[in-house]
């Protein structure tokens, strides 16, 4: 039987539960009001249906990218593979060093695009829903492209992981 | 360079991109207005911050569980491990057969709880946001408990997967 008294604090309970949950890894980019690229590594990206094609993700309203994301008309969402480990780490570290390399270019609507990603979706922001210290961003997919073939990159128990073998 | 002309249709582009994205697997349960258990397998569950502790997931508004979820005051969210493969498959199949086994019991607030899950969070629904054919459900975590230790279960390329080795 579950023991609901062990984690009396709900914040502790959430943290304990999410240590047992794995996530896919995405990188989300846009431009700030000066036209400079901004972006971050996200583990909350999910689809909200294919007809119409919608995606959503959450972002902390204290994040370095938040002001740009909250004002963005367009964004780019990249799915990452195992070969993108360094990109995932970089886009989660010092925000002043995320675009200092030459591995990105300008895609549709001027979106910053990392060519090494396994795919990219160009999206138009539909709705930004503020919830406490975070926001949920809902966007319409308007274009997309596939990059190199690779196994999906995971985040689990504070480390990046490979996708494992099929169970079914 | 990405070729944005290959998937001219945005729905096709979204599908191609999400074939390259992996997700953790959760099972979400509640009761309908008759007090009967309902639930489903979700691959969209994510945290919306730990202070306050919030979780969100999406659900198709045509799903068998939708009416109950949309009216629910409380829900239970289970994280799944590799040993829960059959539970994940069952909760995504015929909805009349999801609670016919004896592997669940009543937890806090009468929530249907699967004892074999790696953890469970009891949540109070805060907000249901309808977006096209889907809804985003935001809930406050009010209690939780850990179950058996196991590696997280994944969903990737239309099959359930193990979590792989650490890359960092």
Distance of residue A117 Cα from the nearest chain B Cα, in angstroms: 10
Cβ-in-10-Å burial (0-12, 13-18, 19+) of B165 comes to exposed
CB A118 within 8 A of CB A80: yes
Q: Express each pLDDT in A29-75 by its tens digit.
A: 999 999 999 999 999 999 999 999 999 999 999 999 999 999 999 99
Q: Which of residues 43-102 of B touch A (CB under 8 A)?
A: 43-56, 58, 60, 77, 79, 81-82, 85, 89
Q: Cα(B5)–Cα(A147) distance, rounded to whole angstroms?
A: 13
pLDDT the model gives residue A37: 98
The pLDDT-based confidence of B26 (bands split at 50, 70, 90) is very high
Average pLDDT over residues B19-41: 98
> What is the C-alpha separation between B139 and B40, in angstroms, rounded?
16
- Are the CB atoms for B30 and B74 separated by under 8 Å? yes
CB contact under 8 A, A10 and B140: yes
For the domain A24-162, what is the CATH code? 2.30.110.10
pLDDT of residue B115: 96
Contacts of B152 in chain A (CB under 8 A): 20-22, 156
Which residue from B16, B168, B11, B92 is spatially nearest to A84, judged by alpha carbons? Answer: B168
ipTM: 0.96
Q: Which among A48, A79, A146 has the least Cβ separation from residue B58? A: A48
* A84-132 tens-digit pLDDT: 999 999 999 999 999 999 999 999 999 999 999 999 999 999 999 999 9
For B36-76, the pLDDT digits (tens) are 999 999 999 999 999 999 999 999 999 999 999 999 999 99
pTM for this one? 0.96
**Looking at the predicted structure, is the pLDDT value of residue B7 above 80?**
no
Closest-CA residue to A165 (of B37, B82, B90, B62): B82
- List phi, psi (to 5°) of B89: -65, -45
For residue A59, which residues of chain B lie inside 8 Å, CB to CB?
Answer: none
Q: Could you tell me which CATH class the domain B23-162 is placed in?
A: mainly beta
What is the chain A residue with the closest CA to B155?
A166
Handedness of CA B3, B8, B13, B15 (dihedral sign): negative
Which one, of B3, B164, B86, lies nearest residue A155 by Cα? B164
The answer on pLDDT for B159 being more than 80 is yes
Contact A127 B127 (CB under 8 A): no
Alpha helices (H) in B42-115, listed in sequence order: 66-71, 85-90
Residue spans per domain, chain A: 24-162
């Amino acid at each position: 039987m579950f023991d609901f008294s062990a984690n009396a604090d709900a914040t502790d309970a959430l943290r304990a539960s999410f240590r047992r949950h794995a996530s896919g890894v995405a990188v989300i980019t846009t431009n700030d009001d000066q036209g400079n690229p901004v972006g971050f590594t996200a583990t909350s990206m999910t689809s909200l249906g294919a007809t119409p094609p919608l995606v959503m993700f959450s972002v902390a309203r204290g994040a370095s990218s938040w002001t740009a994301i909250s004002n963005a008309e367009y964004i780019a969402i990249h799915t990452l593979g195992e070969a993108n480990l360094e990109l995932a780490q970089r886009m989660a570290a010092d925000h002043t060093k995320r675009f200092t390399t030459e591995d990105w270019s300008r895609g549709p609507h001027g979106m910053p695009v990392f060519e090494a990603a396994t795919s990219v979706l160009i999206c138009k922001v539909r709705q930004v829903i503020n919830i406490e210290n975070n926001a949920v961003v809902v966007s319409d997919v308007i274009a997309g492209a596939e990059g190199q073939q690779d196994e999906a990159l995971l985040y689990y128990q504070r480390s990046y992981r490979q996708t494992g073998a099929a169970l079914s």
